[in-house]
Amino acid sequence: MFRRHSPSNGPASPAVEGFYDDASGSVQYVVWDPQTRAAALIDVVLDFDTSAARTRTDSAAEILDFVREEGLDLRWILDTHPHADHMMASAWLKEQTGAPNAIGEKVRDIAALWSDLYNLPGVFDPDRDFDRLLSDGETLELGELEIRVMFSPGHTLGSITYVVGDAAFVHDTLMHVDAGTTRADFPGGSSAVLYRSLMALLDLPDETRLFVGHDYPPVGDRTDPAWEATVAEHRARNKHLGGGVSEEQFRKIRDERDATLSLPDRMLHALQVNLRGGRLPDAEADGNVYFKIPANRFEKG
């Protein structure tokens, strides 16, 4: 896996290692306190072969190897939202390490929405499958550092950002400065709500390192994936927001772009796993696991 290190900038500043998943364009993070070595994992991927509907744990295992090699003390397994483009490795990581897993509390609303779309009443129970459902402003201890939860919906109705010192893990809100922002057209999404979340992120201190959830190179002259830029860089140069774009301008850009996008090829498989905290559906009478995919329910594809 392609990976890149972002060192601590001093007291109250975490170290960050980003791991790029080429298959889904997702960025997975290890964030830790350099003083105590307390660490958290954010948005780690469960590998999925769409052609065979087969899962693997190669990516998550590589990240756990890094945690062990660096002598880190894993405290948290975190996700920012129920991802549409990859399966979360949360349940497997919890089995391997015993660390608690967490996500935003409004995952309950997302579960209710998708329970209807899948016609699976009562199947998704976030209170069962996550140890913590986090609210806006809640904090988690990470050694001598603190993880602060920041509600930032728009891509989904329950997305959250994790702010750790001078680092913020902003998931599917911003993309890298030369790519702009992330789509807001999934069920429960809204470009107006996303704009407000983006403005709140850009109100963080100028030097805050923003770590995004995805990149899809090549972009312009850039062939390698990129996922880190400061608030000041985004405010000045972000393709969709730079220079003070109004809400009306942003919504036009975002909505027109979203109208051209297909659904992610993993989406209808991934959400019924992610809304179970990364667990596959229960095995049926023959001992095998089956996905339920709604037909003719979505216009895009």
Q: How much is the pLDDT for 250? A: 98
User: Residue 2: pLDDT above 70?
Assistant: yes
What percent of the chain has a predicted confidence (pLDDT) above 90? 97
State mean pLDDT over 267-285: 97
Regarding the domain delimited by 2-261, which CATH topology (the fold level of the hierarchy) does it fall under?
Answer: Metallo-beta-lactamase; Chain A (3.60.15)
Q: How much is the pLDDT for 15? A: 98
Q: What is the pLDDT of residues 13-52, one digit of tens each?
A: 999 999 999 999 999 999 999 999 999 999 999 999 999 9
Q: How much is the pLDDT for 171? A: 94
Q: Which amino acid does the sequence have at 210?
A: L
Under a CB-based contact definition with an 8 Å cutoff, are residues 78 and 41 in contact?
A: yes
State mean pLDDT over 272-280: 98
Give the pLDDT band (50/70/90) at residue 73: very high
Domain map of the chain by residue range? 2-261
Q: State the chain's mean pLDDT as an integer.
A: 97
State mean pLDDT over 88-95: 98
Q: How much is the pLDDT for 299? A: 81
Q: What is the pLDDT of residues 117-154, one digit of tens each?
A: 999 999 999 999 999 999 999 999 999 999 999 999 99
Nearest to 240 by CA among 287, 201, 281, 296: 201
Q: What is the pLDDT of residues 224-238, one digit of tens each?
A: 999 999 999 999 999
User: Residue 301: pLDDT above 60?
Assistant: no
Give the pLDDT band (50/70/90) at residue 300: low
Distance CA 19, CA 17 (A): 7
Q: How much is the pLDDT for 235? A: 97
User: Residue 223: pLDDT above 60?
Assistant: yes
State mean pLDDT over 193-216: 98
H-state helical runs in the chain: 58-69, 90-97, 107-118, 126-129, 191-201, 231-237, 247-258, 267-274
Which DSSP string corresponds to the chain? Answer: -EEEEE---STT--EEEEEEETTTTEEEEEEE-TTT-EEEEESPEEEEETTTTEEE-HHHHHHHHHHHHTT-EEEEEE-SS--SSSEE-HHHHHHHH---EEEETTHHHHHHHHHHHHT-TTT--HHHH-SEEE-TT-EEEETTEEEEEEE--SSSTT-EEEEETTEEEEESSB--TTT-B----STT--HHHHHHHHHHHTTS-TTPEEEESB--S-BTTB-S---EEEHHHHHHH-TTTTTT--HHHHHHHHHHHHTTPPPPTTHHHHHHHHTTTTPPPPP-TTS-------SS--S--
Distance CA 264, CA 34 (A): 37
Distance CA 10, CA 98 (A): 30
Q: How much is the pLDDT for 10? A: 96
